[in-house]
Structure 1
């Protein structure tokens, strides 16, 4: 009978459906992780980092002020011939302060640019999530329907062969 298919094993469809369900689950977890990381990075960049560098600037400014006072005292002192150590301390403190100020400026720039840079990528992730939640969920439903249809097809008895006529 050329007009009837012989379906002997539906396990491949079930295995594919199961693998698709696992894929959807893992993909959702990965997308959730990425979205959490984006939120955490935004908060870190917009709140924690500015506060950290602001406090670092204050601390380093105090160290620079102290080093400058020690240099001034060394220059006025009769016991210190050359205040080289104090001059080096002032240079080091000034460099540290400039580094903190530069990092604060970079943090502000990153904070300003973060949403503009990250949001287009995050929207792509949202479209992937929509695809996963709608299209792949629909694919699973279709696979279930295909399984039901093929099971029903397998259950139907084969029609009796028509008697052949001899000429």
Structure 2
């Protein structure tokens, strides 16, 4: 049977508490990232396309209005009357530039949708092991630490041998029984948290 040198049961309790906080923090952080990803996906796939489609519609109306104003001024031109066309032309140029910008932004929005979808899939694949560790391995490790602490506390309740052979012989099997019980319970509940695999 393997032996361990335990100097402080309180240190094991503190480690168990820190492990619990770590698991909660990891799951909370991953949940926050998932929520932000959902908001970003909705923004890019629903909000932005709708916004730019509406902008295109409005800006086309402005272009049409600017063209109509320019055409009306051209009709007012006579040999005696020469209205200035510089300002209406500039308004038309700005309206057309704004329309082209909205069309370009809608195109970019549609272009980035598949790229974002691929990035989200890669992200979920990358963090899956961390999520599994926080949701499954950490609780298993905490349960094992609980059993170890209980076994050590039970061991401390065993009367130390006073030097006589009979009592010493009774104390050692009692501790082995406590340790075997803790290990057997761990085997029944499944493997302990696996150590991270080394990169090839």
Tell me whether the two structures share a fold, i.e. TM-score over 0.5.
yes
Q: Could you say if the C-alpha distance between residues 4 and 122 of structure 1 is closer, same or farther in structure 2, counting changes exceeding 3 Å?
A: closer
Q: Give the CA RMSD over aligned residues.
A: 2.1
The question of whether the paired residues in 2 share the 8 Å contact of 1:74 and 1:80 is answered with no
Residue 160 (structure 2) aligns with: 158
8 Å Cα contact 1:57-1:97 kept in structure 2: yes
Equivalence for 1:145: 147
Structure 2 CA distance for aligned equivalents of residues 112 and 4 of structure 1 = 54
TM-superposed deviation, 1:139: 1.0
Give the Å deviation of 1:132.
Answer: 0.8
Per-residue CA deviations over 1:107-146 (Å, capped at 9, x if unaligned) read 0011122211221112222321111111111111111111
The number of residues matched between the two structures is 160
Match of 1:84 among 78, 83, 86: 86
Secondary structure of the residue that 1:82 maps to in structure 2? coil
Determine the C-alpha separation between the residues in 2 that align with 1:112 and 1:65: 34
Aligned equivalents of 2:6, 2:42: Cα separation in 1: 60
Partner of 2:194: none
Which residue matches 2:113? 111
Pairwise CA distance, 1:93: 0.5
Gaps of 5+ in 1: none
How many Å separate the matches in 2 of 1:28 and 1:148?
27
| Match of residue 176 from structure 2 | none
Distance 1:66 1:88 in 2: 13
Unaligned residue ranges in structure 2 (runs of 5+)? 166-200
Q: CA deviation at 1:162?
A: 5.6
Alignment map for 1:127-146 (pairs within 5 Å): 127-146=129-148
Identify which of structures 1 and 2 has the higher relative contact order when contacts are C-alpha pairs closer than 8 Å and 6+ apart: 1
1:124 aligns with 2:126: yes
Q: Relative to structure 2, which stretch is displaced further, 37-46 or 93-102?
A: 37-46
